[in-house]
Structure 1
Amino acid sequence: MIKSSINPVLTLDYMIHEDENKIFDRKSAQLKPSDIADEISAYANADGGTIVFGISDKTRRLEGINAVGAEKINNFINAPMDCCNPTPEYQEEFLDIENAEGQPDRLLLLHIYPSVDRVISTANGSVFLRIGDRKRELKGDDLRKLEYSKGARHYEDELNHDVKISDLDEELIKQYKEILGSPDILAEQLLSSRGFYKEQNGKKYLTNAAVLLFAKNVYQFYPNCRIRFIRYDGTSAGVGTQMNMIKDTNIEYPILKIVEEAKRFIAAQLREFTSLDSETGNFKTVEEYPPFAWAEGIVNAVAHREYAMEGKYIKVTMYDDRLEIESPGKLPNIVTVDNIRTTNFSRNPRMARVLADFGIVKELNEGVKRIYSDMENYFLEAPEYSEPSGQTVKLVLRNNIIARTARQTETAEKKMAEYWNKLDAVEKDIVTIMGSRSCITATELSVMVSKTRRTINKKLSNLLEIGVVKMNGNKHDPALTYSLNI
């Protein structure tokens, strides 16, 4: 099969018959190399993609590239360097084919990689972005937002011409002076030294970061600097006559106050459940979610959200079975849903630094690993990060209320006490995990208990025999799950 070794999705059949999309574009080798500058810019500024030369984008005829000659082929290869500024990262690849005339020929594939920290423009200064199967030229606010997302420009560093130092919270400024060990320094000196008070055309102005951090009335200047908390009765949001919203509160403070205020308010809304104690076999009262996990989710939303997005705010939604924290803006720069536990990058480095000075955050992303570990220690599902709309980041923490409430009976206590001392250490671990979950597979137990499937299967057989555990489904089903039989 003829296919790309760099992106195996791009088989010859795919490149001929599939519609052009987010990852590839067909081009005839008859066009000018300078004519592909727009596509190169668009792919580099988005998620990357491949330009395939040698297939007509109009008729999908397999033309090949050999007929245009070595010089033009070389110009195609050099187009990212010759026609774009700065040069994006890319790689060329040739595929041997038989063209529509039945002659040996080749395709040229230009693999354009995403630019993580620079905006790529064409030689004439135009900037494009790939959206679906089309490219879009960016100007004005759209271009500025792209620069924010690439870290080529920071919203926090832009000047606010309407705010005066007298609009800042004197107590917060005083705390900051003391934290930095300079209690007697003037506010203007402090803010200038940290890059929050800058000169423009002979006058000095506060930056957006200074106002977001220290304003007495942040809503006056940035009404989107808020956290909206919504609580529903049930596991979904009803509408109309089924409306089940029981609380809707806005928390509006400057960044240096909003985290603690939000933590205080949300802590009062969370509940307590029962969970099986692995030491005694008794049920104990535990928090609905690990305290660090949800609090760190709030901190990260505040520290790393996109403040330039007008009309957007952080939303915390509480359902019976989960807590959702949604923050405006995509994950910053090189951070993805898959690497969020290990990759560090700050969209708002100056504000993050001040939050660290105040002890509100530590090192960037240090807490994400602990969110995962704390949820695991509570025997809860792993946290779920997603970008549902491409414009927000959502963190979902699930509490498994169904499994937990099912354990809150005197009968369950007595039945577990009857068997607990008959279980070995591995069996106790299995039962403890099941005590906080509605169901679980043998494979999941093997990972969580750090035992082989053979050992887990043997222990499950013992637990089934004495009646502590039950099977949910047919024993020959590869997706068979188990749960406590109490």
Structure 2
Amino acid sequence: MLKSKINPILTLDYMIHEPENKYFDRKLAKIKPSDLAPLISAFANAEGGTIVIGINDKTLEIEGVLAAGADRLNDFINAPKDYCKPMPKNEYEYLDVVNEKGLQDKLLLIHIFPSQEQIIQTRKDETWLRIGDRTKEVKGLDLRNLEYSKNTRRFEDECTMDATVNDLKQGLLTQYKHILNAEHLPTEQVLKARGLMKTIEGRDKLTNAAVLLFAENIMQFYPNCRVRFVRYEGNTAKAGTQINIVKDKSMDYCILKLVDIAKEYIATQLREFTALDTKTGTFKIVPEYPEFAWLEGIVNAIVHREYALAGDYILVSMYDDRLEIKSPGRLPNIVTVENIRHTRYARNPKISRVLTEFGYVRELNEGVKRIYSDMEAFFLDDPEYSEPGQQAVKLTLKNNIVMRKIRQKEQAIGNIGNDIWEQLDDLEREILVYMGSRRAVSRKELEEQTQKSRGTILKRLKHLSDLGIIKQNGRLRDPQHSYSLK
């Protein structure tokens, strides 16, 4: 099968019949070499791609390139160098084919690789980007966002013209100077030393990073510096008359306060499971998720999100079976969902450094590795990273509540023996499984859990008590009366 040696997915059949897409484009050999510049820039600024020269993009017939002559082919090969700045990394190859006239011919494939930390422009100072099967010139705000994504420009390093040192939390600044052993230095000097303040035309200006980290009223400057927590009842988000949101809280603070506020609030929403250790006869409390995993996920979202995306915020969604942490912006630079466990890169290095100095952030990516190891230690699935819509990063932690229920059932059978278990009806088994993860339960609690009447529950409790499986705690009319496993 005839195919590219550099990109084996490009078979001859693929290049002829597959619609042009984000990663390849067809051109005739009649095209001017200079006219390839926008396409080269577009592929390099996106995720790379291949220009296939010698196939008619209208009729899909193979016309080949030999008729263009050696000089024209050499100009095609040199187009990335001659018509773009800086020259993107590229390779070329020829494929032997039979053209539409039945003659031996060749296709020229020019492979353009993605530029990681540079914007590739044409010699005319134009910047292009490949979006789907289109090559689009990028200008204005779109160009600035592209510069942010390539880290040729950092939003955190740009200065804000409005904020002054008086708009920052003085307590946090004092704490920061103490951490740096710099209490004796002026605040402005400390901020400049950390790249959080710059002198522009003789005037000191705070950077976006400084305001995001320390602002007294973050809403005045960056209303998107927010963590929103939404808790749903069930495993899906519903809307309209079936809306199932049970908690919805927005937290709007500067970054150094946001981490603590988000941690304190979300910790109150996470559940704990109490299980009886049959070997020791004692109860153990098992958290829904390992604390480090969910907290590190939130800290990473706050530190590495794209703050230039106005109007978007970090969304933490809690379902019965999982916790999702969604952060604005794609993964930074060379990091992908496949290599995130081992690849280190900071979109906002100055913000990251300050949070590291405050003790919130571990060495880059060491925290991600521990998220994996802590989830494994809790017998939970690996964390899942994804990029929904290519405009956000989402971390999903699954609590495996189904498996916990299975384990609770197995534990209940182990406590009483299979012979007795087989004598019980479904409701009695449900009661025992529920009681197996709690120290004690009330009759009313069991009614709510099982949706059964008072008389039905009392009948089952009496039967279980007569079998010697459970015991009563306190007098029947005592408001604190409860039941527990023997």
| Aligned match of 1:239 | 239
Q: How many Å separate the matches in 1 of 2:402 and 2:372?
A: 21
Query: Structure 2 counterpart of 1:96, which letter?
Result: D
Query: Structure 2 counterpart of 1:160, which letter?
Result: T
**Is residue 412 of structure 2 the alignment partner of residue 413 of structure 1?**
yes
Q: How many Å separate the matches in 1 of 2:166 and 2:285?
A: 49
| Aligned match of 1:355 | 355
- Whether the 8 Å CA contact 1:274–1:408 is kept in 2: the answer is no
Q: How many Å separate the matches in 2 of 1:417 and 1:332?
A: 54
Question: Once the 2 structures are TM-superposed, how far is the Cα of residue 365 of structure 1 from its aligned partner?
Answer: 1.2
**Is residue 130 of structure 2 the alignment partner of residue 130 of structure 1?**
yes
Question: Once the 2 structures are TM-superposed, how far is the Cα of residue 395 of structure 1 from its aligned partner?
Answer: 0.3
Task: Give the alignment of 1:124-203 within 5 angstroms.
Answer: 124-203=124-203
Gap change, CA 1:65 and 1:283, over 3 Å in 2: farther
Q: How many Å separate the matches in 2 of 1:4 and 1:274?
A: 59
Question: Once the 2 structures are TM-superposed, how far is the Cα of residue 414 of structure 1 from its aligned partner?
Answer: 4.5
Question: Structure 1 stretches of 5 or more lacking a match?
Answer: 420-486
| Aligned match of 1:426 | none
- Whether the 8 Å CA contact 2:388–2:394 is kept in 1: the answer is yes
Question: Once the 2 structures are TM-superposed, how far is the Cα of residue 417 of structure 1 from its aligned partner?
Answer: 8.0
- Whether the 8 Å CA contact 1:169–1:214 is kept in 2: the answer is yes
SS of the equivalent of 1:25 reads strand
| Aligned match of 1:438 | none
Q: How many Å separate the matches in 1 of 2:411 and 2:205?
A: 65
Q: How many Å separate the matches in 2 of 1:192 and 1:362?
A: 24
SS of the equivalent of 1:266 reads helix
Task: Give the alignment of 1:32-431 within 5 angstroms.
Answer: 32-274=32-274, 284-408=284-408, 412-415=411-414
Question: Once the 2 structures are TM-superposed, how far is the Cα of residue 202 of structure 1 from its aligned partner?
Answer: 2.3
**Is residue 17 of structure 2 the alignment partner of residue 17 of structure 1?**
yes
Question: Structure 2 stretches of 5 or more lacking a match?
Answer: 419-486
Aligned length: 420
Question: Once the 2 structures are TM-superposed, how far is the Cα of residue 133 of structure 1 from its aligned partner?
Answer: 0.3
Q: How many Å separate the matches in 1 of 2:12 and 2:399?
A: 47
Q: How many Å separate the matches in 2 of 1:277 and 1:121?
A: 65
Q: Deviations over 1:421-465 (max 9, x none)?
A: xxxxxxxxxxxxxxxxxxxxxxxxxxxxxxxxxxxxxxxxxxxxx
SS of the equivalent of 1:376 reads helix
SS of the equivalent of 2:93 reads strand
Q: Deviations over 1:301-346 (max 9, x none)?
A: 0000000000000000001110000000000000000000011111
Question: Once the 2 structures are TM-superposed, how far is the Cα of residue 412 of structure 1 from its aligned partner?
Answer: 3.0
Q: How many Å separate the matches in 1 of 2:75 and 2:279?
A: 71
Q: How many Å separate the matches in 2 of 1:416 and 1:132?
A: 60
What is the Cα-based RMSD across aligned positions, in Å?
A: 1.9
SS of the equivalent of 2:389 reads coil
Q: How many Å separate the matches in 1 of 2:14 and 2:276?
A: 53
Q: How many Å separate the matches in 1 of 2:51 and 2:106?
A: 14
Question: Once the 2 structures are TM-superposed, how far is the Cα of residue 253 of structure 1 from its aligned partner?
Answer: 1.1
Q: Deviations over 1:32-52 (max 9, x none)?
A: 110000000000000101000
- Whether the 8 Å CA contact 1:275–1:404 is kept in 2: the answer is no
SS of the equivalent of 2:405 reads helix
- Whether the 8 Å CA contact 2:278–2:415 is kept in 1: the answer is no
| Aligned match of 2:460 | none
Question: Once the 2 structures are TM-superposed, how far is the Cα of residue 281 of structure 1 from its aligned partner?
Answer: 10
Question: Once the 2 structures are TM-superposed, how far is the Cα of residue 388 of structure 1 from its aligned partner?
Answer: 0.8
Query: Structure 2 counterpart of 1:41, which letter?
Result: S
- Whether the 8 Å CA contact 1:52–1:109 is kept in 2: the answer is yes
Query: Structure 2 counterpart of 1:155, which letter?
Result: F
Query: Structure 2 counterpart of 1:343, which letter?
Result: T
Q: Deviations over 1:167-225 (max 9, x none)?
A: 01111111111111111111111111111111222222111000000111111110000
Question: Once the 2 structures are TM-superposed, how far is the Cα of residue 364 of structure 1 from its aligned partner?
Answer: 1.2
SS of the equivalent of 2:390 reads coil
SS of the equivalent of 1:389 reads helix
Larger radius of gyration: 2
Question: Once the 2 structures are TM-superposed, how far is the Cα of residue 112 of structure 1 from its aligned partner?
Answer: 0.6
SS of the equivalent of 1:159 reads coil
| Aligned match of 1:7 | 7
Q: How many Å separate the matches in 2 of 1:48 and 1:388?
A: 20
SS of the equivalent of 2:353 reads helix
| Aligned match of 1:458 | none
Q: Deviations over 1:376-425 (max 9, x none)?
A: 1111111110001100000000001122134446x733526869xxxxxx
- Whether the 8 Å CA contact 1:273–1:405 is kept in 2: the answer is no
Q: How many Å separate the matches in 2 of 1:323 and 1:282?
A: 29
Q: Deviations over 1:67-126 (max 9, x none)?
A: 111111111111001111111111101111111111111111011111111111111110
- Whether the 8 Å CA contact 1:275–1:407 is kept in 2: the answer is no
The worse-fitting range, judged by mean Cα deviation, of 133-142 and 278-287 is 278-287
Q: How many Å separate the matches in 2 of 1:2 and 1:282?
A: 68
Q: How many Å separate the matches in 1 of 2:52 and 2:80?
A: 14
- Whether the 8 Å CA contact 1:158–1:207 is kept in 2: the answer is yes
- Whether the 8 Å CA contact 1:226–1:252 is kept in 2: the answer is yes
SS of the equivalent of 2:61 reads coil
Query: Structure 2 counterpart of 1:140, which letter?
Result: G
Question: Once the 2 structures are TM-superposed, how far is the Cα of residue 283 of structure 1 from its aligned partner?
Answer: 7.4
Query: Structure 2 counterpart of 1:122, which letter?
Result: T
Q: Deviations over 1:257-304 (max 9, x none)?
A: 111111111011000125686977997430000110000000100000
Query: Structure 2 counterpart of 1:224, which letter?
Result: N
- Whether the 8 Å CA contact 1:281–1:417 is kept in 2: the answer is no
SS of the equivalent of 2:189 reads helix
Query: Structure 2 counterpart of 1:112, which letter?
Result: I
Q: Deviations over 1:463-484 (max 9, x none)?
A: xxxxxxxxxxxxxxxxxxxxxx
Q: How many Å separate the matches in 1 of 2:69 and 2:53?
A: 13
| Aligned match of 1:450 | none
Q: How many Å separate the matches in 2 of 1:316 and 1:66?
A: 58
